[in-house]
Structure 1
Amino acid sequence: MKPTDALIALMVPLVWGMGLVIAKPAVDQFPPILLMALRFSVTALLLVWFVPVPRGMRKSLALVALVGSTLQYGLSYNGLKLLDASTTALIVQIETPFLLLISAVWLGDRLTVRQLAGLAVAFVGIYILTGAPNLLGKWVGISLAISGAFMWALGQALMRRLTESQPDRLSGMGTIAWVSVFAAPQLFVASLLVEDQHWYHISHAGIAVWGAVAYLGVVMTALGYTCWYHVLGRYPASQAGPYLLLLPVFSILGGWLFLGEPVNQRMLIGGVVIVFGVALLTVQRSSAIK
């Protein structure tokens, strides 16, 4: 990988990992679903002018947005409200094992022995992590984060079916833009249904909230995914994917440095086991040169 592309690839886990750190103070004082509605509104308004209307795909994209964005972020960020940013980042690494399981059961993909081992290791890591002192008694937050990870995987599987049935119909930026267009109103409706005092929260929101909206909408979503699709467009997923293993590392460092979150032995052991399991799933062995 060229040095400039490697730097862009490294930006992705940094930007995404720090997103949870920046969002944590915001969700502590602001409704999480409303925060996500504002986030996707910013992304949609920023990008939708530069991509074509996906004719014939709008219903499918609305479903992808409902599952992979509205439900996913609604669950994950309500989990973040109850957990530390660093441990949430470790828990959501279970997204990749969930995606492989869904692909095997629903899409008919065959899992190798290496992948089955990776699945087992990742779930063992989650079990170890849930015994960390800062997670004791926080089963609601853990369950929300894990459920959000499952919804992300299901959304990715839906997106894969859509792109396979209509290849080359939608670019990476187009996907981000139109998923955001559909996710924003869905999240506003969800917020109206399950959250309250919307005008009070908006009118009393401080710099932590509006800074999080700007970062999540512009940097994490628009810039982060643009960088990600740039790398995927130039290199195979097996070469780009391992960079994402650094995401929880940046979240843990950011949580410790900026939020004063504790880092304990059980958390580190569980995190290492999870990341190792995900590595078995995503890092492919290089073929021998003959």
Structure 2
Amino acid sequence: MSTQPIVKVGLLTALALIAFAANSVLTRMALAEPLIDAGSFTSIRLLSGSAILMSILWLRQKRPATTQANGSWFASIMLFLYATGFSYAYLLLETGTGALILFGMVQITMVAVSLLKGHVLHRLEWLGIGVSFLGFVYLVWPEVSTPSVSGVLLMSIAGAAWGLYTLLGRGSSDPLADTAYNFLRCTPFVIILMLASWSTLSLDYQGVLYAILSGAIASGLGYTVWYLVLSHLSATQAGVLQLLVPVIAAFGGVLFIAEPISLRLLLSALCILGGILTVILAKRV
């Protein structure tokens, strides 16, 4: 790959990771007060993501060339499981802790699937994964905040679902159409969630705004960009790169929610970044 495409992929990847971190910050800002209940936040997030993506697809004035570029029901189920587990977990977890559990589980899921498919990892890849994961463990255990067991379980389910959703996106021939139809297919599940969470309904205009920003911008457009760059990344690279998100999210929590910054956060960030760099460079050795 020449220098220009590498730079382009790097910038798009950075944009997608910032969008992922923004989701953590927006969700925590909305639910920590709370300004909105978790069910409504998830529903508005998915519906607004669907609305913006289908509008862009319509404005593009062309349908995907094949039916394969229309997403899938399995991908939509994984998207819904991720979004629901993510929202409810953030009722119980701080921004950085939640993001670390989420993307630690993403990495485990993606590496496990890669190994099951027969991919053999380079020794440097194993080293990078190990260093990154040690940084992850160091931050969440024994505490940045002591994680709730229920919160950890919900976020772990969300992470596994997102890992599978990411793997499904690696073969996308039309990232915009795939993401749009994946969001659209979530609609029946959203209706069920809205009915199930009706008794806890709580809406504030600011919470609704955060949910729309999370859905339309950070999720809808962010996930489209992510699907776009996945074809240029190995499953291992994609999994490890996402461990950068908790670092961005933790600093976002510091900036926007006044959550504490610590030496533990800084040291774990260095471990995670060093591990990511090792995995990326392993392919060049």
Where on the TM-score scale, by shorter chain, does this alignment land: which range?
A: 0.7 to 0.9
Displaced runs of 4+ in structure 1, greater than 6 A?
Answer: none
Q: Which residue of 2 aligns with 1:109?
A: 119
CA distance in 2, matches of 1:184, 1:151: 17
Q: Which residue of 2 aligns with 1:66?
A: 77
Residues 184, 264 of structure 1: alpha-carbon distance in 2 compared, 3 angstrom cutoff: farther
Matched, 1:140 2:150: yes
Matches within 5 A, 1:221-232: 221-229=219-227
Cα RMSD over matched residues? Answer: 3.3
Matches within 5 A, 1:44-83: 44-49=50-55, 50=57, 52=63, 61-67=72-78, 69-83=79-93
Match of 2:254 among 243, 253, 256: 256
CA distance in 1, matches of 2:267, 2:153: 20
- The unaligned stretches of length 5 or more in structure 1 are none
Q: Secondary structure at the match of 2:49?
A: helix
Match of 1:197 among 196, 199, 219: 199
Residues 272, 73 of structure 1: alpha-carbon distance in 2 compared, 3 angstrom cutoff: farther
Q: Which residue of 2 aligns with 1:188?
A: 191
Matched, 1:19 2:16: no
CA distance in 1, matches of 2:241, 2:136: 21
Contact 1:17 1:248 in 2 (8 A): yes
Instruction: Report the residue type matching 2:141 in the other structure.
Output: G
CA distance in 1, matches of 2:74, 2:225: 25
Matched, 1:31 2:37: yes
Residues 47, 7 of structure 1: alpha-carbon distance in 2 compared, 3 angstrom cutoff: same
Instruction: Report the residue type matching 2:29 in the other structure.
Output: P
CA distance in 1, matches of 2:220, 2:118: 32
CA distance in 1, matches of 2:276, 2:190: 30
- The unaligned stretches of length 5 or more in structure 2 are none
Matched, 1:149 2:159: yes
- TM-score if structure 1 supplies the norm length? 0.77
Residues 104, 187 of structure 1: alpha-carbon distance in 2 compared, 3 angstrom cutoff: farther
CA distance in 2, matches of 1:218, 1:140: 28
Matches within 5 A, 1:258-273: 258-273=256-271
Match of 1:237 among 233, 239, 245: 233
Q: How many residues align?
A: 270
Instruction: Report the residue type matching 1:18 in the other structure.
Output: A
- TM-score if structure 2 supplies the norm length? 0.78
TM-superposed CA distance for 1:209, in Å, is 1.2
Residues 279, 77 of structure 1: alpha-carbon distance in 2 compared, 3 angstrom cutoff: farther
TM-superposed CA distance for 1:249, in Å, is 3.3
Deviations 1:213-242 (A, max 9, x none): 221122102332344455567xx337x968
Identity of aligned residues (%): 20
